[in-house]
Amino acid sequence: MQLFGFEFYLSILVGCIYLAGGYLLATGPARRRYGWSDHPPTTRQTTSFMLAVALIFFSLNGPLHRLSDDYLFSAHMVQHMLVMLLMPPLLIAGLPDWLIRAGLRVRPVRVMARFLTHPVTAFVAYNLVFIGWHFPQMYNWALINHDVHILQHITFMTVSVMMWWPVVNPVKELEIIPTGPLLILYVFVFGIPATALSAMLTLSDSVFYPWYAMAPRVSALSALDDQRLGGLIMWVPGMLIFWTAMTVVFFRWTRDEYRDWGKEGGTEPPLPSVKLSS
């Protein structure tokens, strides 16, 4: 469908309306009716969640989606990075802890949530889905069949939320890896398969995906150069996001360590003793 020259898919529009509307309903009328909390979500939380919904809408519609589907592999990599590396942490960060706990009161929901957000489950699911869809046969199937393409994007976003949950997790009830060295290692490790794939795409001398080899050229890039650019986009900005996440986890860990030390009776951080020789 088109509106004022902007091409969009009705399914994406409806999905985004359900996400945004469900959030506003749960954090407003439902919160008050069921007594989940006396406090609405903060402005930061609401902004974060709505930014995540906006990323979904504008990544999967409009010019970027058209370039991704019909012309440029590199544009497709930008699209995938937006919905897999930027959208999920924003979505999770937008959820108030009391809203998550309201769902966790239901035992089947709690059991399923702990399983799906477990780091091992998330790591395996993410990499099986991510690597599996990038096999040439699977990738081309999704480009040829729009319904399969929708399934691809849904699975990408689902496993990405699972993967990011241990990093952004707002509630202790779903914490498996506490903030610290192990969580930093988790972020580092889950970026390795994507790095390996991006290196293959960047350094290859042949085009992996026939769809883009046959696509009309809308830039000066050849199909192989476009693939190499897509690999670089996945490689360099992707790793920067992983390293940024590791840095955030590190500073969160040191902040928690400092706070715990203060609770034990300290007033200032301990300093190492230094002997001065005369």
Q: Answer yes or no: is pLDDT of 233 > 60.
A: yes
Predicted confidence band of residue 254 (pLDDT cuts 50, 70, 90): confident
What percent of the chain shows pLDDT beyond 90?
A: 83
Euclidean distance between CA atoms 231 and 61, whole angstroms: 22
What is the value of pTM for the model shown? 0.89
The SS3 of residue 3 is strand
**β partners of residue 2:** 7
- Which residue in 10, 76, 19 sits closest to 46, CA to CA? 19
Sketch the domain layout of the chain as residue ranges: 2-259
Residue 65 and residue 149 in contact, taking contact as beta carbons nearer than 8 Å? no
> How do strand 6-7 and strand 2-3 relate by DSSP bridges?
antiparallel
Mean pLDDT confidence for 59-64: 94
**β partners of residue 7:** 2
DSSP state, 117? T
Q: Answer yes or no: is pLDDT of 120 > 50.
A: yes
Mean pLDDT confidence for 66-82: 95
What percent of the chain shows pLDDT beyond 70?
A: 90
Both structure tokens of 133: 């869809």
Euclidean distance between CA atoms 160 and 59, whole angstroms: 15
Predicted confidence band of residue 270 (pLDDT cuts 50, 70, 90): low
Taking the alpha carbons at both ends of the chain, their separation in whole angstroms is: 82
